[in-house]
Amino acid sequence: MSAHVSVRPRGSRLDEESALLSVLSYNLLAPAFVRPIDKRTGGVQPFAAFEWAEPAAEVLDWDVRRPRLLAQLSSCGADILCLQEVQFECSSAGAFHLPGWLQGIDGYTWLQVVSFVFYVFYGCWCCSCYGCWCCC
């Protein structure tokens, strides 16, 4: 059996060949990582000082990015979506769940969500530098 790997241009639909399994890996850039302020220095964390994202209000603002992300994910046609940096919502009981905006992606059923976001599940070190956005 030989593996067939195909890389397609950005924006291409991935469901053109029904005999092939298509997987899309997408880094959402969690809102918690957009220009977080380091409480020690008062400045933007160096890893988040995106020079390419200016003006930030038109590029990084969540209300601007969210509809664009949803449109891209809904139109990709991938059999499987692997999402990185998903910022989970949490209930008043402290349970984490998929954000409501992701539950509306056309054509997808969320059977299982697995996250490797260790700072959510293994203590909230984000509180010390970024300000807490989770339920800890």
pLDDT digits (tens, 9 = 90+) for 34-87: 888 888 999 888 877 777 777 878 888 888 888 888 888 888 888 888 888 877
This prediction's pTM: 0.64
By the 10 Å C-beta count (0-12 exposed, 13-18 middle, 19+ buried), 102 is classed as buried
Assess contact for 70 and 105: CB atoms under 8 A.
Answer: yes
Range list of β-strands (E), 38-88: 80-84
